[in-house]
Amino acid sequence: MHPFRYGLLLLASVLCLVSWANGNAVHVRSTSNTVRFNVTLTWEDWAPAGVPRKMILMNGQFPGPTLQLREGDDVEFLVINNIPSNATVHFHGIEQLDTPWSDGVPGLSQKPILPGGRFLYKWRALQYGSYFYHAHTRGQIEDGLYGPIYIRPDDSVEKPFHLIANKTSDLQAMQAAEEKTTPLMLSDWRQLTSEEVWQGEEASGLDAYCANALLINGKGSISCPGQQAYNYLASAAQKQILGNQSMTDTGCISPMLASAQGDFPHNYSAIPPFMFYGCVPGNGGTEHFLVDPSAKYVSYDLISAAGVSMITFSIDEHSMYVYAIDGRYIEPTLVDAVTIANGNRYSVLVKLDKPAGTYSVRTANSGINQILSANATLTYDTPVQKQQRPSVASIDIHGSIVSSNYTLLNETTIVPFPVVVPSQDVAQTHVLKIDHYNASYRWRMGNSSLPLALETEAPLLYYPSTADPDLTIKSLNGTWIDLIFHVAGDLEPPHPIHKHNNKYFVIGQGTGAWNYSSVAEAMRYIPESFNLKTPQIRDTFTTPAAVTEDTWLALRYHVVNPGAWLLHCHIQVHLSGGMGLALLDGVDEWPEIPEEYRID
């Protein structure tokens, strides 16, 4: 340990230092570097976009309070479940090294926390950067159970800021901005509860790809301009899909299109109000960001906790350096806008060198499914408020850049900092077909569809022999596994593939059918589709959109942390519909469950 930090810890022990987190969540930093965090879940009326419904609050707040940590801290996260349903909490992107029982997945790592029950999650923060916690029982993330996690890097971690500027004052300003980095939660909101959505899907047979509002730090609004206005606003791609159909009054592609829902039986008269139709206007207020231009830079950790929306983010007249993704540094990349898939985190440095004034912060759904946006403001905190004119947008209502003068982050140009290369010695290759499964709202990843009922059964960590081979990949510890996702080309959105436990390498992607037995074989035919020299290191990455042609994505991971881990699409209705499977990592070194986590 760094001697200076050790000294501080000794001092802390003498002073019995107690610190308070945001809001009324309490954390205590003790000498053993254990951070304790209590979250009480309640089910209450809340109106983040101005229209009330019951939502999950965390210590009376939405989004939940930020869990602030330092790399190396031990975390004890107590969940007190005071909602009238089962619940669990997952720590998205956290590797859970040697603590597979704290991953928060019912059916895999634990039994659900019953109403009135509690569960203590214990894990060590061995990684730095931006993460978040969220519900992992049924569709509950869409009831609002999520909050940010930030882990301050250890002093030994090299930062990439010298690739932006080398002047000492700039470097100091960027580091200071990072030290004060602020989580910025982006999400979407539905009028219906997650259980109402599931019931509506079962009754109508439809995939509920339609939300009711976008939120920035839990604030948004709903304007209801009408179907004709949405038909007029529709993008060229949306118009092409619509044909002679109309957009819905909530800004969605009509559900009555076989192209949008697949060719399965549907009962349109069973569609519940608000699922696709029934716009209710509301205003839940606007988020305001106040920045200090004398600091030269401000840093935000953009986190998408969205259920269905693919959110593009920009700040008028301000480009930004993306410097970390999914909690790992990259070579900083200057862009005007960034698209954040469900479950991803992008850390950005914004240079505050524009005239004092107020600038619009814009988010828009960039998926073809719906026209949806939310705006906030960013204001220079100076005595003189010079800029009076409206600021100039770099993105439109579809999340597209408005002209070639602006840049949207291009994922394929990203280079990790530092670069790490995966092994070429691959023990297993699995080709996992992603497609509908007998109904528009049912999905599969591989041979079969993960049933929601699995969540209430014996967790696989405890009973690995009960695993269904069609929903399981078993591996030996220390080996390398290739996962090829083959997406059927029937108008499928990008699927954000999230892996629990350690991150994977994104080694290739392309269009067309995957007809190879391994990556090595494919590289003989289509080497340009692979990157094994500077692959991205991610915990969530999207498959390429498959409009008419099939597409594929190749991921490679190292089995290092034995346990039962979920691999799934982070679009919530796709996960509820079965797009996931269990990775039984290290079956030869299966963990022994500590006494306090044993179940009957």
Q: Which is nearer to Cu ion, 328 or 495 (CB)?
A: 495
Segment lying near Cu ion (by CB under 5 A), choices 77-85, 141-149, 157-165, 566-574: 566-574
What CA–CA distance (Å, rounded) separates 524 from 41?
Answer: 53
Q: Which is nearer to ligand NAG, 2 or 593 (CB)?
A: 593
Comparing CB distances to ligand NAG, the nearer of 114 and 290 is 114
Q: 129-135 and 89-92 as β-strands: parallel, antiparallel, unpaired?
A: antiparallel
Burial 156-175 (b: 16+ CB within 10 A, else e): eeebbbebbbeeeebeebbe
Q: d(Cα 316, Cα 420) in Å, to the nearest integer?
A: 35
Residues 173-192 that bind Cu ion (CB under 5 A): none
The residue among 97 and 382 lying less far from ligand NAG, judged by its C-beta, is 97
Shortest Cβ distance from residue 434 to Cu ion (Å)? Answer: 7
Q: Is 345 in the site for Cu ion (CB under 5 A)?
A: no
Chosen from Cu ion, ligand NAG, none, partner binding at 172 (C-beta under 5 to 8 Å by type): none
36 binds, among Cu ion, ligand NAG, none (CB under 5 to 8 A by kind): ligand NAG
d(CA 457, CA 468): 13
Q: What share of the chain is helix, strand, coil (3-state, %, to 5)?
A: 20, 35, 45
How many residues sit in the footprint of Cu ion (CB under 5 A)?
Answer: 4
- CB of 186 within 8 A of CB of 363? yes
Q: What is the DSSP letter of 212?
A: S
Query: Could you write out the three-class secondary structure of 286-311?
Result: CCEEEECHHHCEEEEEEEECCCCCCE
Residue 495 interacts with, from ligand NAG, Cu ion, none (CB under 5-8 Å by kind): Cu ion
CB 499 within 8 A of CB 539: yes
Of 38 and 96, which has the nearer Cβ to ligand NAG?
A: 38
Minimal distance in Å, beta carbon 17 to ligand NAG? Answer: 13
Per-residue HEC secondary structure of 440-452 comes to CCCEEECCCCCCH
Choice between 179 and 588, CB closer to ligand NAG: 588
- Cβ 3 to ligand NAG, closest distance in Å? 28
Does 581 contact Cu ion by CB under 5 A?
Answer: no
- Contact between 35 and Cu ion by CB under 5 A: the answer reads no
- 240: nearest Cα among 435, 491, 436: 491
The nearest distance, CB 207 to ligand NAG, in angstroms, is 15
Q: Which does 569 bind (CB under 5 to 8 A by kind): Cu ion, ligand NAG, none?
A: Cu ion
Contact in structure between 321 and 349 (CB atoms under 8 Å):
yes
Q: Decide which of ligand NAG, Cu ion, none touches 151; Cβ closer than 5 to 8 Å per partner kind.
A: none
Q: Does 308 bind Cu ion (CB under 5 A)?
A: no
Site string for Cu ion, 488-507 (x = CB under 5 A): -------x------------
Toward Cu ion, which CB reaches closer, 138 or 495? 495
Neighbours of 528 (CB within 10 A): 8
Can you give the binding site for Cu ion, defined by CB under 5 A? Answer: 495, 569, 571, 574
